[in-house]
Amino acid sequence: MINALLALLAFQLIGEVLVRALDVPVPGPVVGMLLLFVALRARGSVPEALQHTAGNLLSNLSLLFVPAGVGISAHLALLWDSWWQLLLTILLSTLLTLLVTALVMRSAIRVVAQRDRQEA
């Protein structure tokens, strides 16, 4: 378990260092995630301890959102001023994103299937 934790921390650390060294506006943990993915591919399997620790961490992911969410107490005035604009923006943009993703993916699956049929 300590080894798995060490691996997660080390990949995050490498990510943070790389992001700063290369001056790219991508969060360090995202680079850490990509590097760990590459490492897992190279290894060809997930170590059992890492599987276990990652599973534990991700199954309690929503707890980790709470401290940031409480930060809203610092922005109550802003929310009070524009609550309906925020809610409407979120509702419309989320549904738009959802449907565009679904429709594009469905069309692309059809195009690929059609091409495969023509080749066969």
**114: contact with other proteins by CB under 8 A:** no
How far apart, in whole angstroms, are the C-alpha atoms of residue 73 and residue 58? 26
CA distance 12 to 18: 10
Q: Which of 86, 117, 118, 119 contacts other proteins by CB under 8 A? A: 86
Considering the complex, what minimum distance in angstroms separates the CB of residue 3 from other proteins? 13
**Minimum distance from residue 31 beta carbon to other proteins (Å):** 9
Check residue 117 for interaction with other proteins (CB under 8 A).
Answer: no
The structure tokens listed for 80 are 């009070």
Among positions 4-63, residues that touch other proteins (CB under 8 A) are 5, 8-9, 11-12, 15, 25-30, 32-34, 36-37, 40-41, 46, 50-51, 53-55, 57-58, 61-63
Q: Give me 110's structure tokens.
A: 């059809």
Nearest-angstrom CA–CA distance, 61 and 68: 13
Q: Taking CB under 8 A as the rule, does residue 78 contact other proteins?
A: yes
Count of Cβ atoms closer than 10 Å to residue 49 Cβ: 14
Asked if residue 118 binds other proteins (CB under 8 A), the reply is no
Check binding of 1 to other proteins (CB under 8 A): no
Q: Which two tokens stand for residue 115?
A: 């091409």
**Dihedral angle sign, alpha carbons of residues 6, 12, 15, 21:** negative
Binding residue count for other proteins, defined by CB under 8 A: 71
